[in-house]
Amino acid sequence: MSDHYSIVISGEAGQGLRTIEKLIDQALKRAGYHFFSTSEFMSRIRGGNNTVEIRIGNSPMFAFVDRIDYLLVLADGAIRRLEGRLSPDTLIIGDRSSIQRKYQRQYDLHPVSLRDLADQAGHRITMNTVALGILLGLLNLDPRPELRKIKRIFASKGKKLVDINSMALKLGQREGLRIPRRISLTPQESIKKGWLADGTRAVTAGALTGGCHFVTAYPMSPSTGVITRMSELADEFGLVVEQAEDEIAAINLSIGAWYAGARALVTTSGGGFSLMQEGISLAGITETPAVIHLGQRPGPATGMPTRTEQADLNLAVYSGHGEFPRLVLSPGNLHDAFHLTRRAFELADRYRMIVIILTDQFLLDSISLLNPFNFSGFSYQNHFREGRPHHPTYRFTDSGISPRIVPGHGEGFQMVDSHEHDPWGRLTEDPDLRRRMVDKRMRKLDAMAGEFLQPEVIGSPDCDTLVIGWGSTFGPILEALERLNAPRTACAYFRQVYPLPESTAGILNRAKQTVVVENNAGGQLSRLIRQETGIATDRKILQYDGRPFSVESLVNQIGRIL
Amino acid sequence: MKTRYDRPGRFDINWCPGCGNFNILKALRETLHTLEIPQKNVVIVSGIGQAAKTPQYMQVHYFNGLHGRALPVATGVKAANPHLTVIAQGGDGDMYGEGGNHFLHAIRRNPDITNIVHNNMVYGLTKGQASPTSREGLVTPLQVDGVISRPFEPLAVALTQGASFVARGFSQDVPELKKILAAAIRHRGYALVDILQPCVTFNRVNTAQWFREHSYYLDENHDPTDPDQALQKIRNGSKMALGILFRDSDRFPFEDRLPGYRKTGKPLFQRKPAYGRIKKYLAGGW
């Protein structure tokens, strides 16, 4: 077998798949293995069929694969849905009674009755603990840290729960050790120091590091995790966390907070972001900073609430009525989810600008390791000043950035208006003032240009084929190109999708052939590139079935055009 | 009377001569002037409409935002810096129509803000259409056969939602209005001050004279701590009550109850990211 393994756990909503995933990831980190895990789930609370994919390997990865080496079945009905991903090499682990006979004949089965083991441990409810035990056995991992963890988790719920879960884990682990082909990799010490995170956690920590002390949202998958995590930290970090009555309130609450000098975050998804349009426009004309995390999922309207897509680039780029500048950042991995979110706050504050962080369900719900980094390189500086008398809110400057004051901090008045206004923030309909104010606002993008994040080219820029990606397609593209191992092929990764950095045209022109990979139907980045640079990309690889690109699918599609 | 809140210099006022807004502006400036609040700590957040232009004609921190959205902005300001005195101001369409959902939820949250609503029962800036508080039968350029919906009852809604301060004033009685405004601003918690006001251009039915004939002041016998009594007294026959209907001074305001203020009362603009703790959070896993 290769040096990468893929384990898929399949069960119903409510069976605790997410808990198994988090615990096994922790065990993998402790063991010193590279791993990546991602979950896909239905929009329901109980039942249905959900899966978690856990990849383990000798090198880092941040991509989904179709291949399933081990399928651990927790409930009936899993296999029919996953059949296309099974191969003669797949080992199915599960209860004979949960797997139709025809599949038992077709695939390699290692029969284990999770239900019986759970009953034996003391209660059916421990099935997910049994599953965790089986995985520990399959991976040859020491179960003792997990036993300690169980003690901690269930301590408050009584000795009986600790006992039956400990027993379930032991029974499962013993069963896992009986699996004929088990996974064995060489541990790497450095991994043990990695920081376990999903995209949500990376965005959350990035916001905190960026000085965010205020977060508001109306719950909407897949973006809710950010406010949930911050709520857990509110006391310790002194954060104001408020669930708004709707997204219109959320964006306006955050605008109020920024006006009063706080750094505030709004987290939402497409539908909620649509409701915020008017508020985004308000931030635009009042030059109130704003940081909006837009976790994409498939639309239109309700679309597929728990699935993934990259179809809100246009929405972000053109959000809000009227003309005003904004910056749109699109992290493609955990590292960037952290660093771009941190940076968003700095830039929003300094330029009195709207910054949108565009993620998606795939990135937010995928778990891997962040390479530890030092915080000593970061510095924090507020960009408002202590107020003095006669301070104009919208002073004309070369950069377009008018120094900001906040109420309650010094003298002067911060007079802010959603009407067109004069430098003092008093409303005006004067045509000359209007023109100058529009120019002043737009000029801020020129001032910011030196800080734009240029696309990163991996491989030689003078290539035959340049594969272009933004956001979460970066991981799958990178791995697909590694597998293809084609000479003269490179990848261009856009961390900043709007404004398109000025190096874009040059990078595209150096390649003989350009291919854009996007998780949407319209090729939104491709169109944006054409609009901004006049360059038409040669090919598009688009996917809009609500699922992330698999490495195999990209290998096939890119391979065909090389 | 000259006040610290008077806008200096010469400027044009967008209101029609005789508009009730002039009196409300005067009452607000004078009330703020006499209250012992540092002027630099006062913020007026307003929506859009003729009423919402009030802070434009004052010397004060203001955020003249969007139609209907004054309350969430004001709540954000207050939550980010509880030391500020925050007023959310607008008209009946602004607060009860476009901002209706925020009105309901601001009451539930109970932030320490004063919500001033100029209620002239008609839309002015958009030229005379019905507002949520227009009486049934009011004929307008858009409701040509007269309004068929029942009027929104802000005081009843606020009381039944558990608002901690509910009052009604009348723009043409500045001395009484000032007393109500002062009490509302002093109140710790959400305070609704609905102000009846004539629109001299678009509402020829609910005129100043009409309001005088259709209102009465609550007397000393009224117990403003009794919500049931308050609810009964909103109307007396065809007459609307003026004065402080209800006040509950014991409820903690929203911002006092936020976990983010448990360890420190520092406003958010004075807080810095705790790198050490964030790093620990990241390294700690789950």
- Residue B127 belongs to a domain: yes
- In this structure, are residues A437 and A421 in contact, taking their beta carbons and an 8 Å threshold? yes
Task: Tell me if B10 is assigned to some domain.
Answer: no
Q: Note the pLDDT of residue A101.
A: 87
**Encoded amino acid at A32, one letter:** G
Count of domains forming chain B: 1
Fold category of A4-191 in CATH? Pyruvate-ferredoxin Oxidoreductase; domain 3 (3.40.920)
**Position B5 in a domain:** no
Contact B65 A418 (CB under 8 A): yes
Tokens for B42, please give them. Answer: 């006062």
Answer whether A4-191 and A456-561 agree in fold: no
Cis peptide before B253 (omega within 30 of 0): no
Peptide bond into A222 cis (omega under 30): yes
Q: For residue B106, what pLDDT is reported?
A: 98
- Min CA distance, A3 vs chain B (Å)? 26
Q: In chain A, which residue's Cα lies nearest the Cα of B83?
A: A408
CA atoms of A113 and A125, how far apart (whole Å): 14
Q: What is the pLDDT of residue A76?
A: 79
The beta-carbon neighbor of B282 closest among A195, A234, A257 is A195
A405 touches chain B (CB under 8 A): no
How far separated are the first and last CA of chain A, in Å rounded? 27
Structure tokens at A249: 């309130």
Interchain pair A241, B281: CB under 8 A: no
- Other residues' Cβ atoms within 10 Å of the Cβ of residue B261: 19
| CA atoms of B262 and B256, how far apart (whole Å) | 8
Q: Is the CB of residue A6 less than 8 Å away from at least one CB of chain B?
A: no
Closest chain A residue to the Cα of B272, Cα to Cα: A211
Probe site for chain A from B53, B86, B281 (most A CB atoms < 10 A): B281
A371 at interface of B, judged by CB pairs closer than 8 A: no
Q: Which of A241, A416, A426, A429 to mutate to test the interface with B (most CBs of B within 10 A)?
A: A416
Any chain B CB within 8 A of the CB of A209? yes
Tell if the CB–CB gap between A252 and B72 is shorter than 8 Å: yes
Per mean pLDDT, which range of A14-28, A400-414, B65-79, B234-248 is the poorest?
A14-28
- Residues from chain B that touch A286, judged by Cβ atoms under 8 A, are 63, 65
* Closest Cα in chain B, distance from residue A376 (Å): 9
Cβ–Cβ of B268/A415 closer than 8 Å?
Answer: no
Residue B36 lies in a domain: yes
Give the pLDDT confidence score for residue A1 in this predicted structure. Answer: 40
Nearest to B269 among A409, A415, A427 (CB): A409
> For residues B164 and B151, what is the distance between their CA atoms, to the nearest angstrom?
23
ipTM of the complex, rounded to two decimals: 0.98
Radius of gyration of chain B (CA): 20
Distance between B127 CA and the closest CA of chain A, angstroms: 19
Residue numbers of the domain that contains B271: 21-284
- Residue A273 backbone dihedrals phi, psi, to 5 degrees: -65, -35
**Cβ–Cβ gap A259/B77 under 8 Å:** yes
Nearest CB partner across the interface for A242, out of B60, B79, B264? B79
Domain boundaries, chain A: 4-191, 196-377, 385-451, 456-561
> Is any Cβ of chain B less than 8 angstroms from the Cβ of A408?
yes
pLDDT of residue B273 exceeding 80:
yes
Confirm if A244 and A256 have CB atoms less than 8 A apart: no
A389 touches chain B (CB under 8 A): no
State whether residue A213 sits within 8 Å of chain B by CB. Answer: yes
Identify which of A197, A240, A242 has the shortest CB distance to residue B282: A197
Position B15 in a domain: no
Measure CB to CB from residue B59 to each of A216, A278, A413 and give the nearest one: A413
pTM of this prediction?
0.97
In the CATH scheme, what is the code of domain A456-561?
3.40.50.920
Render pLDDT for A247-278 as a digit per residue (tens, 0 to 9). Answer: 999 999 999 999 999 999 999 999 999 999 99
Q: Which two tokens stand for residue A342?
A: 């941190």
How many CB atoms are closer than 10 A to CB A225? 20
Query: pLDDT tens for residues A213-227?
Result: 999 999 999 999 999
Which residues of chain A register pLDDT less than 50?
1
> Which pair of structure tokens corresponds to residue B108?
């539930």
B241: which 2 tokens?
């009550």
**Chain A residues in contact with B281 (beta carbon < 8 A):** 205, 208, 233
Cβ pair A249:B48 closer than 8 A: no
A340 touches A495 (CB < 8 A): yes
What's the topology of domain A196-377?
Answer: Rossmann fold (3.40.50)
Q: Between chains, do A240 and B278 touch, taking CB under 8 Å as contact?
A: no
- Are A176 and B245 spatial neighbours (Cβ–Cβ below 8 Å)? no
Average pLDDT over residues B136-165: 97
- Sort out which chain A residues have CB atoms less than 8 A from B10's CB and list them: none
Helix (H) or strand (E) holding B104: helix B100-109
How far away is chain B from the Cα of A233, in angstroms, using its nearest Cα?
Answer: 9
Q: Compute the residue count for chain B.
A: 286
Which CATH number goes with the domain that contains B239? 3.40.50.970
Chains A–B, number of C-beta pairs less than 8 Å apart = 214
Subunit contact B41:A210, Cβ cutoff 8 A: no
Q: Do A213 and B268 touch (CB under 8 A)?
A: yes
CA distances from A8 to A131, A371, A393 (A): 12, 25, 56
Q: State how beta strands A415-417 and B42-46 pair.
A: unpaired
Q: Distance (Å) from the C-alpha of residue A302 to the closest C-alpha of chain B?
A: 22
CA neighbor of A229 nearest in space, from B262, B255, B274, B281: B281
Q: Under an 8 A CB cutoff, do A241 and B260 touch? A: yes
Of the candidates A405, A425, A217, A258, the one whose C-alpha atom is nearest the C-alpha of residue B81 is: A258
